[in-house]
């Protein structure tokens, strides 16, 4: 059986050597890129199963590379960062990353995160869920019905599309552009005020049905379903 291929993008040779050794010891194949342009080229040529992408690789930086890849691919992307602030986490996830790791990182954690993303990818491709769940919210994607506990909550098409996106990955931060695209991509929804209004209406409907506090607006970035405690 062919081993899974991982693309490692970092301008620091010591980091690349460490990551390669850690992954190869666990049976992965590894290719490397030192900057954003070569990363995009190698991604296009090799179609890796996972990408480990450093945030600070010059221009284009990790955010830009991640967003570019996300235009055409759902390949798992794990961001590497030297920082640990919540805003960096939010920006990584909003750019389309599936996970992020703050350096320095151990071999064990690195391999665990890669394996976890491969498992998630396998589950996503093996079946398409018809029921999305988070807290006591249950969204049926076939009937487009939302249940909060046992109470049915009526949603407009826009509210359904907004909520469905957030419920697919409840702790992920989606950018305003990603939300706009999910609810139709219309100029009508490009206004921050309108997006905030839809988020507010969803919060009120869910709260009125006895549901949890949901949909956090991350200033300057976007939205996540489940607020951080």
| pLDDT, tens digit (0-9, with 9 covering 90-100), for 147-200 | 999 899 988 888 888 999 999 888 888 888 888 888 765 444 456 778 888 899
H or E element, residue 53: strand 50-54
Question: What is 89-121 written as a DSSP string?
Answer: HHHHHHTT-SEEEESS--HHHHHHHHHHHHHHH
Each residue's pLDDT expressed in tens, for the chain with a length of 229 residues: 458 999 999 999 999 999 999 999 999 999 999 999 999 999 999 999 999 999 989 899 999 999 899 888 888 999 998 866 555 777 887 788 888 888 888 999 999 999 988 887 776 655 556 889 998 999 988 788 899 998 999 888 888 889 999 998 888 888 888 888 887 654 444 567 788 888 999 999 999 999 998 998 888 888 999 875 5
Q: Quote the tokens at residue 158.
A: 């826009």
With tokens 């930086």, the residue in question is 61
8 A C-beta contact, residue 177 and residue 187 = no
Q: Which of 194, 190, 150, 143 is nearest to 164 (CA)?
A: 143
**CA dihedral in degrees (81, 218, 157, 167; nearest 10)?**
50
Instruction: State how far the Cα of 43 lies from the Cα of 38, in Å rounded to an integer.
Output: 8
Q: What is the pLDDT of residue 187?
A: 40
pTM of the model: 0.61
Q: Where are the domains of the chain?
A: 5-126, 131-224
Question: Domain 131-224 belongs to what architecture?
Answer: Orthogonal Bundle (1.10)
* Domain spanning 5-126, CATH class: alpha beta
Angular region, 138: left φ>0, alpha ψ -120 to 50, beta rest: beta
């Amino acid at each position: 059986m062919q081993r899974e291929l991982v693309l490692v993008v970092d301008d620091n040779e010591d980091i690349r050597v460490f990551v390669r050794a850690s992954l190869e010891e666990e049976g992965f194949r590894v290719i490397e890129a030192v900057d954003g342009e070569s990363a995009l080229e190698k991604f296009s040529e090799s179609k890796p199963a996972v990408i480990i992408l450093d945030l600070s690789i010059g221009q284009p930086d990790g955010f830009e590379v991640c967003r570019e890849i996300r235009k055409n691919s759902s390949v798992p992307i794990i961001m590497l960062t030297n920082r640990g602030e919540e805003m960096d986490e939010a920006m990584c996830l909003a750019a389309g990353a599936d996970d992020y790791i703050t350096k320095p990182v151990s071999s064990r954690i690195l391999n665990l995160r890669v394996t976890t993303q491969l498992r998630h990818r396998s589950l996503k491709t093996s079946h398409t869920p018809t029921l999305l769940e988070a807290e006591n919210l249950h969204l049926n994607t076939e009937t487009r019905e939302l249940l909060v506990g046992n109470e049915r909550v009526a949603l407009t098409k826009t509210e359904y599309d907004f909520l469905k996106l957030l419920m697919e990955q409840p702790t992920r931060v989606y950018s305003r552009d990603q939300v706009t695209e999910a609810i139709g991509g219309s100029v009508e929804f490009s206004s921050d005020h309108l997006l905030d209004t839809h988020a507010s209406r969803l919060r009120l409907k869910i709260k009125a049905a006895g549901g949890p506090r949901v949909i956090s607006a991350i200033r300057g970035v976007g939205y996540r379903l489940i607020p951080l405690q």
